[in-house]
């Protein structure tokens, strides 16, 4: 029978550089001192649970003294004799703190952004902002498991009451994806936001600019100039998304071939896209200054980051556009995304086929959804080039018509 462990024998126990040692305690069968090849020592209990041998680590030596470890081992073996698994029932304060830290809302959100949001959606910064800033800032140190449906409703009600109902809808969408992911990974059993509907109804926008409004915005953008005014003009000519234009980089353009290749990392739907450029678009791009010692961005003020301050820039542009409207007309409220819808509507009006318009916009829904998206690989490049050329000519025509009319009126 092995000798009982003593404080001296524990202190003097030497490691074996080739293997881990387990020194049994003669005073309490099942209780061991574990000595690693590195010399590190810890306490463990061996027992059987559900007919299988198991090992339960109590803690390191000398943080746990022999007396403390033996007492904990005795309690663990008592639980095992009663048919209960001490490894499941008991958890040290250190293990509890570690588990709680791993399930802290902010820590899990950070993992969600890295593992799920970033690889799937280029708009992940907005998702990260919704889940970490402003309304959810107080949640960052909360235990994920304690967040209730009432906690979520309280946040959403506050957002609606202060006049941010659409932002509340966006938060619902972000939380639904987040909690769904945590359930899939087994961090929580059920989602507290399951079946919860967005707090506010949203009206689908169908704003399409008239020719008069479009040319007014174009000419106002001409006055605003680089960088924002030119960016807006490129949005008008190409129909591409605001972020895709404002974050465009020089290496994406082959002006000799009149092509703009938007990489999948920058495309909203995660699908790379080639945009044929009409002569007017090529001329506009050639006219842009190259900012910085190693120019990278088309639209920038410092050479390091894309143009920002879009909201104020749109307001300034709208004020300028009002001057180009007829006296009995007014520029109705509009957004940059309306330029994209105007492009699609205008192309259809010019006789461009719907499937070509969708290819121009890099849409994966509609005509190219479902099984068609799997088997239809023709990119309709020639058709898209003709469509963008026709649209560009139309824009230049209405702009030049307005200029001539304005000059005639002033004469």
Residue 269 has phi, psi (to 5 degrees) of -90, 5
Mean pLDDT of 170-192: 91
Local confidence band at 99 (pLDDT 50, 70, 90 cut-offs): low
Q: How far apart are CA 324 and CA 399, in angstroms?
A: 11
> Tens of pLDDT along 26-65?
999 999 999 998 888 999 999 988 788 888 888 888 888 9
Q: Is the pLDDT of residue 216 over 50?
A: yes
Mean pLDDT of 242-252: 94
The answer to whether residues 248 and 361 touch, using CB atoms and an 8 Å cutoff, is: no
The answer to whether residues 102 and 70 touch, using CB atoms and an 8 Å cutoff, is: no
Local confidence band at 372 (pLDDT 50, 70, 90 cut-offs): very low
* CB hemisphere CA count around 264 (13 angstroms): 6
Structure tokens at 169: 């809808």
pLDDT of the residue at 265: 82
Q: Report the predicted TM-score, pTM, of the whole model to 2 decimal places.
A: 0.56
Which region, left, alpha or beta, applies to residue 291 given φ > 0 means left and ψ of -120 to 50 means alpha?
A: beta
Percent of the chain with pLDDT over 70: 89
Q: Is the pLDDT of residue 373 over 50?
A: no
CATH topology of domain 211-410: hpI Integrase; Chain A (1.10.443)
Q: How far apart are the first and last CA of the chain?
A: 116
pLDDT of the residue at 367: 47
Q: Which CATH number fits domain 7-90: 3.30.200.20, 3.40.50.11060, 3.30.160.390, 3.40.640.10?
A: 3.30.160.390
The answer to whether residues 28 and 38 touch, using CB atoms and an 8 Å cutoff, is: no
Q: How far apart are CA 321 and CA 217, in angstroms?
A: 5
Between 375 and 274, residue with greater pLDDT = 274
pLDDT of the residue at 97: 64
Label residue 33 exposed, middle or buried (CB < 10 Å: 0-12, 13-18, 19+). buried
The answer to whether residues 240 and 277 touch, using CB atoms and an 8 Å cutoff, is: no
The answer to whether residues 215 and 182 touch, using CB atoms and an 8 Å cutoff, is: no
The answer to whether residues 65 and 6 touch, using CB atoms and an 8 Å cutoff, is: no
Q: How far apart are CA 274 and CA 253, in angstroms?
A: 10
Between 369 and 114, residue with greater pLDDT = 114
Local confidence band at 110 (pLDDT 50, 70, 90 cut-offs): very high
Q: How far apart are CA 368 and CA 109, in angstroms?
A: 34
Q: Is the pLDDT of residue 239 over 90?
A: yes
Between 66 and 101, residue with greater pLDDT = 66
Between 124 and 216, residue with greater pLDDT = 216
Bond from prior residue into 113 cis (ω within 30 degrees of 0): no
Bond from prior residue into 62 cis (ω within 30 degrees of 0): yes
Local confidence band at 70 (pLDDT 50, 70, 90 cut-offs): very high
Q: Kindly report which listed range (152-166, 279-293, 308-322, 360-374) carries the lowest average pLDDT score.
A: 360-374
Which strands form 31-35's sheet, in the order they lie side by side?
A: 21-24, 31-35, 41-49, 52-61
Q: How far apart are CA 410 and CA 269, in angstroms?
A: 47
Indicate the Cα dihedral angle 361, 364, 368, 371, nearest 10°: 170
Residue 185 has phi, psi (to 5 degrees) of -90, 0
pLDDT of the residue at 101: 76
All structural domains of the chain with their residue ranges:
7-90, 102-184, 211-410
Residue 258 has phi, psi (to 5 degrees) of 55, 55
pLDDT of the residue at 92: 52
Which regions of 51-104 does DSSP assign to beta strands (E)?
A: 52-61
């Amino acid at each position: 029978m092995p000798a009982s462990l003593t404080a001296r024998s524990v202190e003097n126990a030497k490691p074996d550089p080739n293997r881990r040692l387990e020194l049994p305690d003669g005073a309490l069968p099942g209780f061991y001192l574990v000595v690693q090849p590195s010399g590190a020592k810890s306490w463990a209990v061996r027992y059987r649970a559900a007919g299988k041998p198991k090992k339960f680590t109590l803690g390191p030596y000398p943080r746990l003294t022999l007396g403390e470890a033996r007492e904990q081992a005795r309690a663990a073996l008592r639980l095992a004799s009663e048919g209960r698994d001490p490894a499941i029932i008991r958890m040290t304060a250190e293990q509890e703190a570690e588990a709680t830290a791993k399930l802290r809302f902010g820590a899990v959100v950070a993992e969600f952004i890295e593992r799920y949001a970033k690889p799937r959606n280029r708009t992940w910064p907005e998702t990260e902002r919704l889940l970490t800033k402003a309304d959810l800032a107080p949640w960052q140190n909360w235990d994920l498991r304690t967040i209730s449906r009432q906690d979520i409703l309280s946040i959403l009600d506050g957002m609606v009451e202060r006049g941010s109902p659409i932002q509340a809808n966006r938060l619902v969408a972000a939380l639904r994806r987040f909690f769904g992911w945590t359930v899939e990974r087994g961090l929580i059993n059920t989602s507290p936001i399951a079946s919860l509907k967005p707090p506010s109804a949203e009206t689908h926008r169908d704003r399409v600019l008239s020719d008069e409004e479009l040319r007014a915005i174009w000419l106002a953008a001409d006055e605003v100039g680089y960088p924002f005014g030119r960016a807006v003009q490129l949005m008008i000519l190409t129909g591409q998304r605001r972020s895709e234009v404002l974050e465009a980089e020089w290496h994406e353009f082959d002006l000799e071939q009149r092509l703009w290749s938007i990489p999948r990392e920058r495309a909203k739907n995660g699908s790379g896209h080639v945009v044929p450029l009409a002569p007017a678009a090529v001329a506009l791009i050639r006219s842009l200054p190259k900012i910085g010692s190693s120019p990278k961005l088309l639209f920038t003020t410092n050479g390091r980051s894309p143009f920002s301050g879009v909201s104020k820039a749109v307001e300034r542009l709208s004020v300028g556009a009002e001057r180009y409207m007829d006296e009995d007309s007014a520029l109705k409220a509009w957004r940059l995304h309306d330029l994209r819808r105007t492009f699609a509507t205008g192309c259809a009006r010019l006789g461009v086929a719907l499937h070509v318009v969708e290819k121009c916009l890099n849409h994966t829904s509609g005509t190219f959804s479902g099984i068609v998206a799997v088997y239809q690989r023709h990119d309709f490049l020639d058709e898209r080039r003709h469509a963008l050329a026709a649209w560009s000519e139309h824009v230049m025509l209405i702009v030049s018509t307005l200029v001539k009319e304005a000059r005639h009126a002033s004469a």
